[in-house]
Amino acid sequence: MPVGKATFVSSFNGDSFAIDGEMSSAGIANLFARTSGTAKVEGSIGRNGASPKHFSSQYQSGKKNSVTAIRFSGGKVASYENTPEPRKGESWIDVTTSHLAGALDPLSATLIRTQDPAKVCGRTIRFFDGELRGDLSLAAPSLSDNGTVTCRASFSPVSGYRKGKKQIEYMRSKSRMSITFAQLGSTGFFAPVSASDGTQIGTVRIAATKIVAR
């Protein structure tokens, strides 16, 4: 059952990059609440990969709206803002400066710079979306004849969430994720083109239906 669609436009120009994405709900998901959103990031490209400067996202579902902005400086999170602020409580785990060390926004974090598909996995993606700070550990690479590589992925929450939250605990202990990466032309980067994740209500699959080079 289709639940949404998205379009991402990635631009690589010398030592800079930009990604601009749009998503919207589709099919049965619209029966519950029409959802739409945007996400964009821009930054520079170094020897070790993408280094974001600005990340922003906007999300609307029914009557709920949220806006996030993250600013990076010197390869680190310099500031971030969420509107509205997340609801916290006694079980909330705060994001600390040490948690943010080496963390990138969700778009930049999944850009992996390597020429060797076998080296895409065997690493941990440290991401921060303005609220949740989490890790995705990639392992067990499976190479295909078309140049893509599929990694088994496991999720570990770090901070920015309520301890004991069922969704988070399920993703950490029971979720079975896999992510397939493909080369982005001659950019030297691999990026996700499909993913599957077991959730409490069934398996969710995300796949690129068309990739166009311009």
pTM above 0.85, yes or no: yes
Residue 192 has pLDDT above 60, yes or no: yes
pLDDT at 28: 59
State the first-to-last Cα distance of the chain, in angstroms, to the nearest integer.
31
Residue 30 has pLDDT above 70, yes or no: no
For 24, the enclosing helix (H) or strand (E) is: strand 16-25
For 106, the enclosing helix (H) or strand (E) is: helix 106-109
Residue 130 has pLDDT above 90, yes or no: yes
Confidence of residue 102 (pLDDT cuts 50, 70, 90): very high
Residue 162 has pLDDT above 80, yes or no: yes
Q: Specify which of 131-140, 195-204, 205-214 reaches the highest per-range mean pLDDT.
A: 131-140
**Cα gap 127→141, rounded to integer Å:** 21
Helix (H, G, I), strand (E, B) or coil at 102: coil
Could you give the C-alpha distances from 89 to 53, 126, 145, 162, 187, in angstroms and in order?
31, 25, 50, 7, 44
**Cα gap 72→145, rounded to integer Å:** 38
